[in-house]
Structure 1
Amino acid sequence: MSTVGRRGASTPRELARVGDRLSFVYLERCVVHRDDNAITAEDADGVTHIPSATIGTLLLGPGTRITHQAMTVLGECGAGVVWVGEQGVRFYAGGRALTRSSGLVEAQAMAWANQRTRLDVARAMYRLRFPDEDPAGRTRQQLLNMEGRRLKACYRSESARTGVPWVRREYHRDDFSAGDPPNQAVTAAAQCMYGVAHAVVAALGCSPGLGFVHSGHERSFVLDIADLYKTDVAIPAAFDAAAEGPEDIAARTRRALRDRINKTRLLDRCVKDIKDLLHYDVAQEAAESAEDRVTLQSDHGRHVEAGRNWDGDADEVIW
C-alpha cells in the first residue's frame, strides 16, 4: 500500500497550469467516459475527445451520464466538475488540487482565523473592485453598501450600453424561466463564474469554505473570488447575450462568457489575485512544488519526515 506522498498520480509539472486551461466545457445529453488521459463525450452525433488536463471546469448539463473512470482522470488533473441543473439554476462542484503542497491553504487558514487579518483580506478584495477608492478604515457594513451601489450602477450602465431594458435583479432558485431575459442571462453567467472560481480554488489547494466576505457556506471563498469579476466579466457577457434576444439565452450567455473569460485571461487573474490576497510567497511556492513531500510537525516549528517511527529506529518505516 503506497503512502499519500508516493501516489502515482501525475505531478503538477506534468499537468497544464490552471491559468493555461480552457475556462469551461459544457456538455449535455451524452455519456462521458475515459480514453487514456482524455475524456470522451458520446451522443447521437458520435464521439468527441477532450484532453482532460486542458479543462478548467466541466459543466454537466441535463441528460449527461459520467463513468467512474472519467471522474478518476478528471480528479487526477484537478479539473472542477459541476453538475448543472435545468437551465443552469443549480450546481454541485468538486475537484482536486494540482499542488501537493498545503502552503496556500495554510496561508488562507491563518488569515481567516484572525479577525483582524480576515478583515484585511476582505478590504483587499474590495480594493480590487474599487481601484480608485481606499477601503482602509471602512467597516464591513460600509463595504457592503459600496458593493451594492457598484452593482446597481453596473446594471444601469450595461442596460444603457446594450439597449436591454432593466428593472431590477431577480433570482428564482427553482424556476429559471420566471425571470426576464436579462435576469436569466445574469443567473446563467453567475453559475458559470461560480464553477470557474471553484475550479481555480480547488486546483490551487485552497479551502472553498473559508471565506473573507461571504461566510457560513461550503463555497464561501468561491463566492468571494467569483464576485471580484462580476462587473467586468460576468454582467457584460450576460447583457451582450440578452441583447441578441430571449431564445436559448442560457447557452448564448455561456458562449459569450467563455469568450470573455478567454479574452481577459481570467484564469491567470484568478490565480494571481488569490496568491496576492493571501500574501503567498512565490519563492516559497517554487520550493514546495519541487518535491512531493509529507512531514510531521515537531517542536519549535521543526518538521520531520513522515512515514517513519520516531520512537526508536529512525529507519523503521511504519506505513
Structure 2
Amino acid sequence: MKVYHTLESFEPLPNAVVTSGTFDGVHQGHRKILSRLSEAAAQRRGETVVLTFWPHPRMVVSEDSHGLQLLSTIEEKTELFRELEIDHLIISPFTRAFSELSPTEFIQQVLVDRIGTKRFVIGYDHRFGRNREGSFEFLQKVAPDFGFEVEEISRQDIDELAISSTRIRNALLRGDVQEASDLLGRPYQFSGVVVKGKQLGRTLGYPTANIDVKENYKLIPANGVYAVKVMHQGEVLRGMLNIGVRPTVDGTSRTIEVNVFDFDQDVYGERLVVELFAYLRPEMKFGNLEELVAQLAEDKQKAIKAMRL
C-alpha cells in the first residue's frame, strides 16, 4: 500500500476506484464498504484508493470537539488499511479551507482532478462538501458529467450489521469489550510508552507497567480490570490490565497499568500495544493490601481462563 500525506503528492490514476470518509475504528461496517471497493476495482481492473482526513473533521469545524474520543489514531487506521490490502491511502490534511469546498468543488478538484476517479463507492449516509451538503442523490445526478460512476452500499447492508462507531464507543465506555470486539471484527487496542509509577505492584508480587497514551483523543475504556494481550517487540504476551484511580492506595489520578504474565524485562521508555480481551471486574477499594493481593491472584486466574492459556 502506498501512503500519501497530501492530495498534491498523489498522481492521478487512469482507473481509480475510490471511497472517502473518516473510517474511525475501521469497523465491520466500514469493511463492508472496503470489500465492495476491492471487488469493484477487480471488476474494472483498476486500483483502490481510500481518501481519509487528519485531523478528524470535528476537531477542525466543531466547537464541541474538546471531548472528542476516537477509536483509532491515524497510525492505527493506516495499518488496518494496509492489512486490507488497499492500493493507495491518501491522508489529506483537513483544514477550514478544505471544509469550505462546495460539493461540486470537491468532486472536480479532489475526486476528478487530483485522484482521477472512475468509480466512487460510498456508505448509505455519506455526506461531503461544505456543511455536508453533498449526498448520494447529488452524486447520481452529476457523476456522468464528471466522467465517473457512483455506487452506494445500501442502508440494508449496513443495518444488517447494526454497526456504528458510536455504538462501539458506548460499549467500551461501559466496559463491554466483547461487544466492541464483535463490532470491530477484532479486539480493541491502544498503545503507549511505559513510564515510571510508584512501583507498588512489584512489592505486592504483581509488577506493572504504567502506560502513557499520548493521544488525548484516543478512547480509553471504562475503569476496571481486563484480561489483555500485550505486544512487545513482535512478541505476543498475556496479562491483566487495570484502568482507574487505584482507590485502595488513595490514588487520585487515572492510570493504565498492565501486569504481564511471566515477564520481567525493563521496558521503561518502550512502547506497548494492548489488546483488550475480556472485562473481569470493576475497580474496587479493598480494606487493606492483603485483600488486594488476594483479589489480584483471583483476577489472574480469571484472565488465564478467559484467554484459555
Say whether the fold is shared (TM-score over 0.5): no
The normalised TM-score by structure 1 is: 0.21
Which structure would you say has the larger RCO, counting Cα contacts within 8 Å and 6 or more residues apart?
A: 1
The normalised TM-score by structure 2 is: 0.21
